A and B are shown apart, each in its own frame.
Chain A
Amino acid sequence: MKSLANRPVNPVVGLPVPHESADLHVTGEALYTDDLIVRSSNVLHAWPVQAPHAHALVESLSTDAALEVPGVVRVLTAADVPGINDAGIKHDEPLFPSEVMFYGHAVCWVLGETLEAARLGAEAVQVGYRPLPSLVTLTEAIDAMSFQGNQPTLTRGEADTALAAAAHRFSGDIEFGGQEHFYLETHASFVHVDEGGQVFVHCSTQHPTETQEIVAHVLGLTSSEVTVQCLRMGGGFGGKEMQPHGFAAIAALGATLTGRPVRLRLNRTQDITLSGKRHPFHARWEAGFDEEGRIQALKATLTSDGGWSLDLSEPVLARALCHIDNSYWIPNVEVHGRIARTNKTSQTAFRGFGGPQGMFVIEDILGRCAPLLGIDAGELRKRNLYVPGQSTPYGQPVRHAERLHAIWQELHDRADVERRREQIEAFNASHPHLRRGLAVTPVKFGISFNLTAFNQAGALVHVYKDGSILINHGGTEMGQGLHTKMRQVAATALGVPLRLVRLAPTRTDKVPNTSATAASSGADLNGGAVKNACDQIRDRLAEVAARKLNIHPDDVRFVDGVVTGIGFSDPGIAFADLARDAYFQRISLWAAGYYRTEGLHWDSARMQGEPFKYFSYGAAVSEVEVDGFTGAYRQLRTDIVHDVGDSLSPLIDVGQIEGGFVQGAGWLTLEELRWDLSDGQHRGRLASQSASTYKLPSFSEMPEEFNVHLFEKATEDGVVYGSKAVGEPPIMLAFSVREALRQAAAAFGPGNREVELASPATPEAVFWAITRARDAQAALDAGAPGVQVGPVPAAFPTVVPAPAH
């Protein structure tokens, strides 16, 4: 019972319960930060003054005209900051900048009695800008050698030697796009100074503690003078890990200066133009394979587009490097990473946190090289999967590597992959204008924060005299079902029905010094802490029960709200009665829980260590149908087998897998961030800055048939109730869609031909891939030499076969 992974009888964990707020969601009764405004009075509204330059010096700033606008109460500028004028922890993000670093950068904020007054006030603020040269694209930054932060290198073996010795050697490069989080709830903060003189911050934040710290340093206060509460978020996806702090600080500054509650809610345009996104990447690579297609060496340089400040770019890059192997054994590795500094929003965490970008590179390599090697892409992937006993390039043993193979096989069986491959071939042979493609891709994703210190959590659990239970923990709820799981954990640990456990909103004055709810670690860390708190209380109650039942405390059982002994004839005590008994015996009924992940170590300078508690595994097979006239496609079917350990909450976990998959498919196929790259006056402006120009997956992008299966008998030792994290890994199952599109486009042309596919693989990108395939076929039909096998058509020279050895 003392092991973290063991489950008692009749556990509440493992039951497929709906989201704990589902009833509130469907009735519109669930409250989000900005819903509190109408429930308050005397509220001021904030509106930013956004600079119309990608890069410029602020030479003057006059607020006089703004203050004349009826309803404008105050304009917040750098001069108002009593503490540190910085929105981050690296002190490279001035809250009120004197140098505009990206188009739309907020130089000051106007507070108004109404939002309209604040907006009109912002229009009236006069700012003098001196435009400076700007770097907007990744290529421009690379050419200008504009980099920031660490430039880590991950090495194992001798990549150069192995490349030289490889039977097949290919090289290429690719640039692929970022992703806007597009949480449905935009950034929102609402701050007032409460009756105790404390700065009370309601904030849609994944990292309340850091929001608290930033607000405190901007205001020149201590952390104890600032409390941050996060009721729930309307989506986070990493976008609220570090980005909310500055907005909260603005609202807090306004509230302390005016003595009135201040609301800062970004509208969609502001949110998308002010806040960071998933990092776009550029990769240049060289890969060597042996005769059987086994990867012998990989040499690559990954350059991320960090935007104007560091934010989380360094750990994102580290995770990208740590996932360039995905699920494949690569004996010789040399991968360099660097972060470009560009005049764009400061790119940040986004579900997967660099992992997807790292995996993108290897999956792209395998997808491009398979036809050149004359090996089916699925077979090539399978052949390179890790086997037990192997380690990652950063030196961590790949524990449970056999699961990759078991999952791979189960997926093929469940999804009837071999038969469908034949059917697809027949379909493609008989349809003049449509092609289908199918691809299987694996996922191996490391769980834990790369930064070891973040792998700790706290919880506060109260049992009241009536037996009801209130839990607090340091994690935040953004839809991922963390609170649902935590209630299940507490109910399981205390052996009570779920309805007895209530969960209070996340607050920094209940559980301090928390880590961000991020890195998929929310349930692992907070679950460990909640269970620890519950176990403490349970042990105390067991003593009370043992005395009453006249048995040994070790023999006390807590099941379904009844406390009894191990024997068949032991009488039962209602949990509520036991709680009351304990109170009268002056036994404490509350506990602070704590958890730290054991066994982690990481040397970020050498890029070696064991940064992850374990790996999350999965695989997906997707089938698509592509229309040769347009490049438009449908996702016909996706099957997934995914390892969540022993699921804490299957309905929640399946939801995370499906949602992550579709979000990943959105990144890879549909979602396209477009900046103005011209030399005109709007250079650097984000062109896709609205829902009408930045398209998320809708119903039409959902696989028409969608089967998700949780890998069974997957108990993960050392994790709460044998479970595994689930938040991020499913994003990367979506590579199966991209690779299936590549297969379908290839089917318009001859085999044995490399197919390049831009990312995102929009209908236009697919159409051009089809066009190149058709051109190759036409050249072949015309008897043109040199295009049958191997060599790539001259127009697309990025992958070149290695010279003969």
Chain B
Amino acid sequence: MERIQVTVNGQVRSCDGVGPHTNLLDWLRDEGLTGSKEGCAEGECGACAVMVSRPDGADGSRWTSVNACLPPALAFDGQEIVTAEGLGTAPGACAVKKLHPVQQEMAERGGSQCGYCTPGFICSMAAEYYRPERSTGASTGQASNNANNATNETGDGPASGDHARTGTSVVGEEHAADHESGPNGFDLHALSGNLCRCTGYRPIRDAAYALGAPQGTDPLLRRQDSPAPAARPTRRMADGARFVRPQSMGELFGLLGQNPEAKLVAGATDLGVEVNLRHSRPSLVMAIDRLEPLRVLTVDAERIEIGAALTLSEVERGLDGRVPLLNQLFPQFASRLIRNAASFGGNLSTGSPIGDSAPALLALNASVVLASADGEREVALAEYFIGYRQSVRKPGELLRAVRIPLPLAEQTAFYKIAKRRFDDISSVAVGLALQLDGGTVSSVRIGVGGVAATPIRALRTEEALQGQPWTSEVVAVASAVLATEGTPIDDLRASARYRSAMLEQSLLRFYAQTQPAALEVTR
């Protein structure tokens, strides 16, 4: 048997004896690296966050923050991980104090109280510190205003003038977005998956916004200039179960054919919860996130194809704002920690009615590519879901890619209704895509999540709008129809009544934001 090894904080550690159901966090802690904590075991609190070296471009890498509590430790065979302990050391009997700049800022500014969430915050913050796109020093005026809070007292700040992008109009932009990046380019959403119960966050934000640029000699910065470790084929049988990272699609399909019950994971953000909270113990776990056919991202005249195993963060970077509706989706989809691991493939394969990608992709008229040993077929996403967590995907098939047809509708929006703005699960999610032709609706698609056993298209509402003038009267009628789509239920997130109301309001909101006065409304 080949050795399974993970490099943690520069030291190679053996993963021998570790089973498929042991997550990275438990393994790290068993190794004595107890800095990373378990706060929730479902990727919600970020106390377990660590940094992993992930591919970036052709020959670079980037430090990527992920929850350690979700993925199997074995998925990190051959990979490099950095924990809070690896970033710096506190003074001790035999150690020389050498805090990392992120640690220094957090410690000095009161960013820790009980300290339990702190190592996770440190790793999330450090990954953002090293993010190549983070500009430092010369920032936009907008960002520096926000950090200093000098001009935002009354809220009559500058109206955003950048709604028109790449020829399409973005409506429903997060109007709080201008408060969420620092003068140093620090994106506060980098910390959206980290919870602190003590500080109230202000000192943590101050620490984040005070960070300078990494020094050129910083070894972790320089590490990003060379490729991330390649994925190693991994095979391990332990604790009565198997973990496999197949080397090829052929090997994958072979195993899948013999083991249709196998759990396929990319970021394991869903399986990890099943294992940790519901004690699922699948007999075969297959990691597919590094298989190249699942990592494509191509754009041609007719469509965009997005590999199913690309992380949402990779898709976000790869699309670079090209799909405004998805651009609105990303910051609302779970947290950065989750987006650094989760994929469209996973979100659509679990088929949850409250997955956030489906309503957006339905509005974009997306289809999915289902691949098996026998070849590929393309299925419209609107026909993909057939029941609660059920789809037309057959045993032996996997979702290889998502396709979005071009051109995109000119007006789009994604609305997520939840209790909390950062990192919550939708009560209702609505994706809208509208094409007007001289003031008349020439095409409209509305994808809705959270109101039925599957994500659905609001077909009756679309019908009520199709071919009609885009006026408040027509929208009022159609929004009343939208309120009756699906079969919403009362649950702990929202009442059925509120869900219906939110459907209705979403179309009214969309209409308001497509009006000329919209800029004023949304600031």
User: Residues of A at under 8 Å CB distance from B?
Assistant: 18-19, 21-32, 34-35, 38-39, 119, 181-185, 232-237, 267-269, 416, 420, 423, 427, 431-434, 436, 478-481, 625, 629-630, 632, 634, 636-637, 651-652, 654-655, 658-663, 670, 672, 674, 687-688, 690-693, 695-702, 704-706, 762-764, 767-768, 771
Residues of A within 8 A of B181 (CB): none
Chain A residue nearest to B44 (CB atoms) is A691
Quick check: A632 and B421 within 8 Å, CB to CB? yes
Distance in Å from the Cβ of B333 to the closest Cβ of chain A?
Answer: 14
Residues of A within 8 A of B200 (CB): 655, 658-663, 697, 702, 706
Quick check: B420 and A700 within 8 Å, CB to CB? yes
Distance in Å from the Cβ of B114 to the closest Cβ of chain A?
Answer: 3
B182 at the A interface (CB under 8 A): no
Quick check: B40 and A23 within 8 Å, CB to CB? no
Quick check: A25 and B192 within 8 Å, CB to CB? no
When the two chains form the complex, which single residue of B36, B109, B425, B491 contacts A28, counting CB atoms closer than 8 Å? B36
Distance in Å from the Cβ of B163 to the closest Cβ of chain A?
Answer: 16
Q: Assign chain B's interface to a size class.
A: 35 or more
Residues of B within 8 A of A25 (CB): 106-107, 112, 115, 118-119
Quick check: A704 and B149 within 8 Å, CB to CB? yes
- The residues in B between 1 and 47 inclusive whose CB is less than 8 angstroms from any CB of A are 29-42, 44-45, 47
Distance in Å from the Cβ of B11 to the closest Cβ of chain A?
Answer: 15
Residues of B within 8 A of A699 (CB): 188, 191-192, 201, 205, 422
Q: How far is it, in angstroms, between the C-alpha of A627 and the C-alpha of B279 when the chains are bound? A: 40
Quick check: A235 and B34 within 8 Å, CB to CB? no
When the two chains form the complex, which single residue of A34, A416, A706 contacts B202, counting CB atoms closer than 8 Å? A706
Q: How far is it, in angstroms, between the C-alpha of A137 and the C-alpha of B250 when the chains are bound? A: 57
Quick check: B115 and A234 within 8 Å, CB to CB? yes
Residues of A within 8 A of B461 (CB): none
When the two chains form the complex, which single residue of A30, A39, A672, A690 contacts B42, counting CB atoms closer than 8 Å? A690
Quick check: B37 and A184 within 8 Å, CB to CB? yes
Quick check: B149 and A235 within 8 Å, CB to CB? no
Quick check: B84 and A704 within 8 Å, CB to CB? no
* Selected A-B contacts with CB under 8 Å, 18 pairs: A18-B107, A22-B108, A22-B112, A25-B119, A27-B89, A29-B90, A181-B197, A183-B116, A184-B45, A234-B37, A234-B116, A235-B198, A268-B39, A479-B115, A658-B200, A696-B195, A762-B419, A764-B427
Given contacts A28-B35, A235-B198, contact A416 B116 (CB under 8 A): no
Quick check: B107 and A692 within 8 Å, CB to CB? no
User: Residues of B at under 8 Å CB distance from A?
Assistant: 29-42, 44-45, 47, 83-85, 87-92, 97, 99, 102-104, 106-119, 122, 146, 149, 152-156, 176, 179, 188, 191-192, 195-203, 205, 273, 276-277, 279, 415, 417-425, 427, 491-495, 498, 501-502, 505-506, 508-509, 512, 520-521
Chain B residue nearest to A420 (CB atoms) is B154
Residues of B within 8 A of A39 (CB): 32
Quick check: B422 and A434 within 8 Å, CB to CB? no
When the two chains form the complex, which single residue of B113, B153, B276, B425 contacts A479, counting CB atoms closer than 8 Å? B113
Chain A residue nearest to B335 (CB atoms) is A698
Given contacts A658-B202, A699-B191, A700-B422, contact A26 B156 (CB under 8 A): no
When the two chains form the complex, which single residue of A23, A34, A420, A480 contacts B90, counting CB atoms closer than 8 Å? A23
Quick check: A28 and B419 within 8 Å, CB to CB? no
Chain A residue nearest to B178 (CB atoms) is A704
Q: How far is it, in angstroms, between the C-alpha of A156 and the C-alpha of B362 when the chains are bound? A: 64
Residues of B within 8 A of A691 (CB): 39-40, 42, 44-45, 195
Quick check: B34 and A28 within 8 Å, CB to CB? yes
Most B C-beta atoms less than 10 A away, residue of A416, A434, A481, A691: A691
Residues of B within 8 A of A771 (CB): 501
Distance in Å from the Cβ of A761 to the closest Cβ of chain B?
Answer: 11
Residues of B within 8 A of A637 (CB): 152-153
Distance in Å from the Cβ of A316 to the closest Cβ of chain B?
Answer: 20
Given contacts A184-B114, A632-B421, contact A26 B34 (CB under 8 A): no
Given contacts A26-B99, A184-B39, A705-B152, contact A235 B114 (CB under 8 A): yes
Quick check: A235 and B197 within 8 Å, CB to CB? yes
Q: How far is it, in angstroms, between the C-alpha of A629 and the C-alpha of B513 when the chains are bound? A: 12
Quick check: B90 and A232 within 8 Å, CB to CB? no
Chain A residue nearest to B123 (CB atoms) is A28
Most B C-beta atoms less than 10 A away, residue of A32, A183, A658: A658
Q: How far is it, in angstroms, between the C-alpha of A427 and the C-alpha of B44 when the chains are bound? A: 36
Quick check: A629 and B509 within 8 Å, CB to CB? yes
Distance in Å from the Cβ of B491 to the closest Cβ of chain A?
Answer: 8
Q: How far is it, in angstroms, between the C-alpha of A436 and the C-alpha of B146 when the chains are bound? A: 19
Given contacts A654-B110, A762-B419, contact A38 B122 (CB under 8 A): no
Quick check: A184 and B113 within 8 Å, CB to CB? no
Chain A residue nearest to B175 (CB atoms) is A634
Quick check: B44 and A659 within 8 Å, CB to CB? no
Quick check: B420 and A701 within 8 Å, CB to CB? yes
Given contacts A28-B84, A184-B39, contact A767 B198 (CB under 8 A): no
Residues of A within 8 A of B153 (CB): 416, 420, 637, 705
When the two chains form the complex, which single residue of A184, A267, A687, A693 contacts B47, counting CB atoms closer than 8 Å? A184
Distance in Å from the Cβ of B270 to the closest Cβ of chain A?
Answer: 12
Distance in Å from the Cβ of B423 to the closest Cβ of chain A?
Answer: 6
Quick check: B198 and A629 within 8 Å, CB to CB? no
Residues of B within 8 A of A232 (CB): 114-115
Quick check: A625 and B155 within 8 Å, CB to CB? yes
Quick check: A655 and B508 within 8 Å, CB to CB? no
Quick check: A27 and B112 within 8 Å, CB to CB? no
Residues of A within 8 A of B198 (CB): 235, 479, 655, 659
Distance in Å from the Cβ of B426 to the closest Cβ of chain A?
Answer: 12
Distance in Å from the Cβ of A141 to the closest Cβ of chain B?
Answer: 21
Residues of B within 8 A of A634 (CB): 176, 421
Distance in Å from the Cβ of B43 to the closest Cβ of chain A?
Answer: 8
Q: How far is it, in angstroms, between the C-alpha of A695 and the C-alpha of B424 when the chains are bound? A: 8
Residues of B within 8 A of A764 (CB): 419, 427, 494-495, 498
Chain B residue nearest to A674 (CB atoms) is B492
Residues of A within 8 A of B506 (CB): 629
Which 4 pairs from chain A and chain B are nearest by CB? A28-B35, A479-B114, A234-B116, A25-B115
Chain A residue nearest to B281 (CB atoms) is A116
Chain B residue nearest to A26 (CB atoms) is B103
Q: How far is it, in angstroms, between the C-alpha of A629 and the C-alpha of B495 when the chains are bound? A: 16
Most A C-beta atoms less than 10 A away, residue of B111, B155, B506: B155
Residues of A within 8 A of B425 (CB): 692-693
Q: How far is it, in angstroms, between the C-alpha of A661 and the C-alpha of B492 when the chains are bound? A: 25
Q: How far is it, in angstroms, between the C-alpha of A575 and the C-alpha of B114 when the chains are bound? A: 33
Quick check: B197 and A183 within 8 Å, CB to CB? yes
Quick check: A24 and B90 within 8 Å, CB to CB? yes
Residues of B within 8 A of A660 (CB): 200
Residues of B within 8 A of A268 (CB): 38-42
When the two chains form the complex, which single residue of B36, B83, B88 contacts A26, counting CB atoms closer than 8 Å? B88
When the two chains form the complex, which single residue of A32, A432, A654 contacts B521, counting CB atoms closer than 8 Å? A432
Residues of B within 8 A of A690 (CB): 40, 42, 44, 277
Given contacts A26-B84, A690-B44, A698-B423, contact A655 B35 (CB under 8 A): no
Quick check: A658 and B203 within 8 Å, CB to CB? yes
Residues of B within 8 A of A702 (CB): 200-202, 205
Quick check: A695 and B420 within 8 Å, CB to CB? yes
Q: How far is it, in angstroms, between the C-alpha of A119 and the C-alpha of B281 when the chains are bound? A: 13
Q: How far is it, in angstroms, between the C-alpha of A29 and the C-alpha of B91 when the chains are bound? A: 10
Q: How far is it, in angstroms, between the C-alpha of A691 and the C-alpha of B70 when the chains are bound? A: 14
Residues of B within 8 A of A662 (CB): 199-201
Distance in Å from the Cβ of A18 to the closest Cβ of chain B?
Answer: 6
Chain B residue nearest to A706 (CB atoms) is B202
Chain A residue nearest to B204 (CB atoms) is A699
Chain A residue nearest to B523 (CB atoms) is A434
When the two chains form the complex, which single residue of A181, A416, A655 contacts B199, counting CB atoms closer than 8 Å? A655
